[in-house]
Structure 1
Amino acid sequence: MDQERRSQREMMQENEKQARTTYTNAQAKAAVSRRDNKASKLRVELTDPRKSNYFYEEALKTLRTNIQFAGADIKTILVTSCFPNEGKSDVVFQLAKEMGMAGKKTVLLDADIRKSVLVQRYLVDSDVKGLSQYLSGQAPVRDILYGTNYENMDVIFAGPMAPNPSELLNGKVFAKLMIELKQRYDYVLIDTPPMANVVDAAIVGKVCDGAILLIESGFVGYRAAQKAIKQLEKSGTHMLGAVLNKVDTKKEKYYSYYSYGSKYGYGQSHENA
């Protein structure tokens, strides 16, 4: 009888040992799988044509710092402008780089699926999928999310021009994407079309924590800026501030804040922006 009990005990101990071994192996395989998934993230090499500019870089640091002081809950931020060619896309790109260099895990989301400049401007030499393909059900998130050669900076390109951008951006799929990105990253910076003729920025703003309006110095008037701000606020967008861009440093001998009243004004982004 004693021998039979010892035999049963030994069998139980052996089974427990095998179970622990199986569990440990499963944990190891899961860890390897996670590492493999991380290593297999799509990557793209971006080439930044911008030359070093002290004033511009300092303005970006000020902008980044003010965004961080806006609150820990401000993570998804859209950047728009009143009109095309004010330098909006470049500022968003440089800000994403600055956030990454500051140790913040950042993704740049190009939501200008009407007329994106990101691929062409930063010399992406490979075929890439983008937001429009995800929103139309042609690609999953993993196929549109790219790591880059910049520290802590990922990017989602706009993808092919879509015939119905507003409808795509206003759908549940985009809102779901924003939630997922907010969980993955410290900051999600969204480049949207200008406010002049389309409502895309106001639509995107409904699912963002805040918005920044970029204004070209000497080109955009007070009324145009106020109109854009009111359009965004009407959609429920939380305005964080405004940035004055393309400031002529030869004329501006000092560094200062720019604002349309005390509520707005992150700072100046200087020439060639």
Structure 2
Amino acid sequence: MEERELELFIMNDPKSVISEAFRVLRTNLQFSSIDKPVKKVVVTSSMPQEGKSTVAANLAVSIASTRSKVLLVDADLRRPKLYKLFRLENYKGLSNFLAEDLPLESVITKMANLHIITSGPIPPNPAEILGSSKMKKFLDEMATKYDMILLDAPPVNSVADAAILSTLVDGVILVVETGVTAREAAIAAKQQLEKVNAKILGVVLNKIKQDKNGGYYYYYYYYGEEGTKKRKKKR
């Protein structure tokens, strides 16, 4: 992924069309469930370098801007990127907290309504750590303290981590890069999530190319309950 794609659009250019797209995405997410509030969400992709970390970070900043208390967790314990986006140290984080019993406060970076936990050092057994009872207990406890918890997870088709995490949360957002991700890869990712009964809240189609009229669609996405699609485009 190019460095320019690893960008906090909401912070750096809040009036841009991309920032507006994230605000619409935020609204769709907040109203994605009628019966039960969605508080714990995994953001993943079918393959590497589709922009999942950028989506997770900008969505977190957008939600926090509404005065909601947000926890953003880098649960990609293989190729973490959130610390780069926010220009944070990463010598300790989620992996330390789960494996070494570090106090939770020691791994949280607080930025107004947005709190961030970086990945920490890459462990030898990411899937086992993420699927541990301590991880489940951590998420359940955080759900009582935050309005929204977003977890940036590894790609579904690469490793089992995202599928494991999806069993611990309220839903999953799947990021797909337009024109790059093969249809088969996206379908395989969906099937992998469905095998563990994950609730797919929606799909973000990222990096839409210029249309024939000269416009540029940055993001295209849909949310809906059980097969009901709601399509949105942002120029």
**Would the TM-score normalized by the shorter structure come out above 0.5?**
yes
* Shorter-chain TM-score range: 0.7 to 0.9
Q: 1:113 aligned to 74, 77, 80, which one?
A: 77
Specify the SS of the correspondent of 1:114. Answer: coil
In 1: Cα distance, 2:144 partner to 2:170 partner: 13
Answering whether residue 86 of structure 2 is matched by residue 122 of structure 1, we say: yes
Equivalent residue, structure 2, for 1:180: 141
Deviation at 1:140, TM superposition (A): 2.1
1:210 is matched by which residue type in structure 2?
G
Can you give the 5+ residue segments of structure 2 that lack an aligned partner in the other structure? 1-5
In 2: Cα distance, 1:201 partner to 1:183 partner: 22
Render the CA deviation track for 1:203-231: whole Å, top value 9, x for unaligned. Answer: 00001000000010111132211110111
Q: 1:60 aligned to 6, 17, 22, which one?
A: 22
User: Normalising to structure 2: TM-score of the pair?
Assistant: 0.85
Specify the SS of the correspondent of 2:192. Answer: helix
In 1: Cα distance, 2:42 partner to 2:234 partner: 17
Equivalent residue, structure 1, for 2:54: 90
Render the CA deviation track for 1:109-158: whole Å, top value 9, x for unaligned. Answer: 1100111012233322x46521101111341212112202xx41000110
Q: RMSD of aligned C-alpha atoms? A: 2.6
Equivalent residue, structure 1, for 2:201: 240
- The count of residues paired between Structure 1 and Structure 2 equals 221
The 8 Å contact of residues 109 and 155 in structure 1, kept in 2 or not, is answered as yes
In 1: Cα distance, 2:221 partner to 2:28 partner: 13
Equivalent residue, structure 2, for 1:40: none
User: Normalising to structure 1: TM-score of the pair?
Assistant: 0.73
Specify the SS of the correspondent of 1:78. Answer: strand
1:139 is matched by which residue type in structure 2?
L
Equivalent residue, structure 1, for 2:192: 231
The 8 Å contact of residues 205 and 221 in structure 2, kept in 1 or not, is answered as yes
In 2: Cα distance, 1:224 partner to 1:260 partner: 20
Identical positions, percent = 37
Deviation at 1:249, TM superposition (A): 4.0
Render the CA deviation track for 1:17-47: whole Å, top value 9, x for unaligned. Answer: xxxxxxxxxxxxxxxxxxxxxxxxxxxxxx9
The 8 Å contact of residues 77 and 211 in structure 1, kept in 2 or not, is answered as yes
Instruction: State which drifts further: 182-191 or 230-239.
Output: 230-239
Q: 1:1-273 alignment to 2 at 5 Å?
A: 50=9, 51-52=12-13, 54-71=16-33, 72-124=36-88, 126=89, 128-148=91-111, 151-249=112-210, 251=212, 253=215, 258=221, 262-263=227-228, 267=232
2:62 is matched by which residue type in structure 1?
E
The 8 Å contact of residues 22 and 59 in structure 2, kept in 1 or not, is answered as yes
Asked which structure has the greater CA Rg, the reply is: 1
Cα distance change, pair 269–159 in 1 and its aligned pair in 2 (3 A): farther
2:188 is matched by which residue type in structure 1?
K
2:209 is matched by which residue type in structure 1?
D
2:159 is matched by which residue type in structure 1?
V
The 8 Å contact of residues 90 and 119 in structure 2, kept in 1 or not, is answered as no
Cα distance change, pair 118–127 in 1 and its aligned pair in 2 (3 A): closer
The 8 Å contact of residues 77 and 212 in structure 1, kept in 2 or not, is answered as yes
- Richer in helix (by share): 1
Can you give the 5+ residue segments of structure 1 that lack an aligned partner in the other structure? 1-46
Cα distance change, pair 220–136 in 1 and its aligned pair in 2 (3 A): same
